Structure 1
């Protein structure tokens, strides 16, 4: 709503104004001219605004939303109650709906076929856009081909060509659950077979020839399983020797030593351990327990012989008394991590008095 703007009178036509002189008259005249210029510019802007609005309405006819907003605003100026506000909204929507219905009916009478065709075309375009989005997000070739065949028509897009895999490419480095599961099962199977085989090997019978040494040798033989430890072997030997040597009846197996190839074998080692690892001693192999001639009697000492002589069974106290005398001076505790070199029968004494 336009508001008139008018400056107050300066009183130049009064007696007081006439006394103010020509300068006041000039300023008053300038203000009048400025007011006229302002009024003319304001009127010009209003005329241009109305002409532009009319041209837009004539060209586009105005949308239903704009008409609804204009009608609603016109009926709800100022303070209104809630009931009046709701009633104005209903009346505006009803009026715009009736106008759109009449216009669409007239248009349908003039060209119903063209309107129906336009709606079908719009529906097809919308469906195509939806299908393109589906193709871009999914990779199921069968579903894409079915959609293309279902649409049909000349406007149907060609089916999407999916890349083919090369069967000759090595994919062994890629993770494969089935292959990994098969490998785990195979490892478990081989592990189980190996354990069973080792248990059978431990149960095999072994004939061991030994010599009870108290300064001179007393050879005996005993049969046992390969899985027997040296400690259990010494207990079996003690029971066997107690029949012929009374001192063996009062001694414990823990106080007996088993010396094989100048090495004192600890009680926790088993014959199976010595055989499987093919352990070597200072004067011969530790994994042979059959009887050969003493390698100390072989004349050609330059040739290493794969022969062994019976292990010695001695009391610990006898060893403590005679460890400075040959052959006890060469004896030392067996260490599986140590390399004892080539077989020798003299030298290398470790205990000297």
Structure 2
């Protein structure tokens, strides 16, 4: 190794020692600064915490609720932060005047709460119900059509009117159903035995048959043990189900195969002209028939013309067509 190389190595070694010493000094300085900063921060927080605690002790007395305690702590912290922001790092307490003011407010608050809690029952009786004052609409042009816009008041008025009309209609229907009508009927056992009965419009066909049995069983022995289910009600060549009411046919102006169903006070059994369009005011009387008799004779006239009633089927001309003749 030459002398130049030895000198270069010695120079590098000294340089590394100096760098190592500088590095150690920097580490030592950083540790000292860190300790100082810790002491300073902890001192500040301790001073602030002590100041807040002293303020809380000065303002607190007796038993307080959790909400009051939180409010006092919040006020104390806000006051301390304001002092720190102004540069006043002293741990002096709040002015005695503000402390006394807050104490007075707390005393009034607790006193008022106690008074209200004890006087609640007495004041409930003395309080009057609030008067509802409807809001007035301002700034609307009455000449503009706003019927297409949603309006709660208008909708409520429409709903109320609908309920009133529905109640009025139901009342009228009840009055009409209780109205008495005279039903012309004939017990049919191959020949006609004409009878009349008074019944309400709201009665069903089954009720009409039960009443007919009571009137006919003394004269016809085969009806003594019969019920409404053993009989059939035939009107204008249509077999009417038992659950229909007379009011149903009167309201709907139902038509049968040979005339209107709702005219029950017929003038005669057989029509002279045999034309429902000409003598629509004289409909046939209803026929009351035993089911057993119908099963034996349903292939013989007039039972061969009878068929079950279908409400949706159009059997002949409408009543409005007949009235124009």
- TM-score relative to the length of structure 2: 0.55
If you compute each CA radius of gyration, which structure gives the higher value, 1 or 2?
Answer: 1
- In 2, the alpha carbon distance for the partners of 1:261 and 1:305 equals 12
Cα pair distance change 1:79/1:179, threshold 3 Å: same
Cα pair distance change 1:203/1:293, threshold 3 Å: same
Q: Which residue of 2 aligns with 1:223?
A: 198
Residue 251 of structure 2 is aligned to residue 263 of structure 1? no
- In 2, the alpha carbon distance for the partners of 1:84 and 1:342 equals 111
How big is each residue's C-alpha offset from its partner over 1:179-224, in whole Å with a ceiling of 9 and x where there is no partner?
Answer: 1111111111111111111011110011111111111111111111
Q: Which residue of 2 aligns with 1:193?
A: 168
**Shift of residue 237, structure 1, vs aligned partner:** 0.1
Higher relative contact order (CA 8 A, sep 6+): 2
- SS of the aligned residue for 1:296 comes to coil
- In 2, the alpha carbon distance for the partners of 1:164 and 1:228 equals 59
Q: Which residue of 2 aligns with 1:181?
A: 156
- In 1, the alpha carbon distance for the partners of 2:34 and 2:280 equals 124
Cα pair distance change 1:84/1:206, threshold 3 Å: closer
- SS of the aligned residue for 1:297 comes to coil
How big is each residue's C-alpha offset from its partner over 1:57-81, in whole Å with a ceiling of 9 and x where there is no partner?
Answer: xxxxxxxxxxxxxxxxxxxx96671
- In 1, the alpha carbon distance for the partners of 2:162 and 2:192 equals 50
Q: Which residue of 2 aligns with 1:248?
A: 223
- SS of the aligned residue for 1:206 comes to strand
Tell whether the 8 Å contact from 1:285 to 1:307 is kept in structure 2 after alignment.
no
- In 2, the alpha carbon distance for the partners of 1:217 and 1:261 equals 15
* Residue among 281, 289, 305 paired with 2:264: 289
In angstroms, what is the RMSD of aligned CA positions?
3.4
Residue 273 of structure 2 is aligned to residue 317 of structure 1? no
Cα pair distance change 1:176/1:248, threshold 3 Å: same
* Residue among 182, 188, 198 paired with 1:213: 188
- In 1, the alpha carbon distance for the partners of 2:175 and 2:253 equals 18
Residue 214 of structure 2 is aligned to residue 239 of structure 1? yes
**Shift of residue 169, structure 1, vs aligned partner:** 1.4
Q: How many residues align?
A: 205
- TM-score relative to the length of structure 1: 0.51
- In 1, the alpha carbon distance for the partners of 2:35 and 2:184 equals 123
- SS of the aligned residue for 2:206 comes to helix
**Shift of residue 251, structure 1, vs aligned partner:** 1.9
Alignment of 1:1-353 (within 5 A): 81=36, 82=38, 165-294=140-269, 296-298=271-273, 303=278, 305-342=280-317
- SS of the aligned residue for 2:156 comes to helix
- SS of the aligned residue for 2:271 comes to helix
Tell whether the 8 Å contact from 2:183 to 2:197 is kept in structure 1 after alignment.
yes
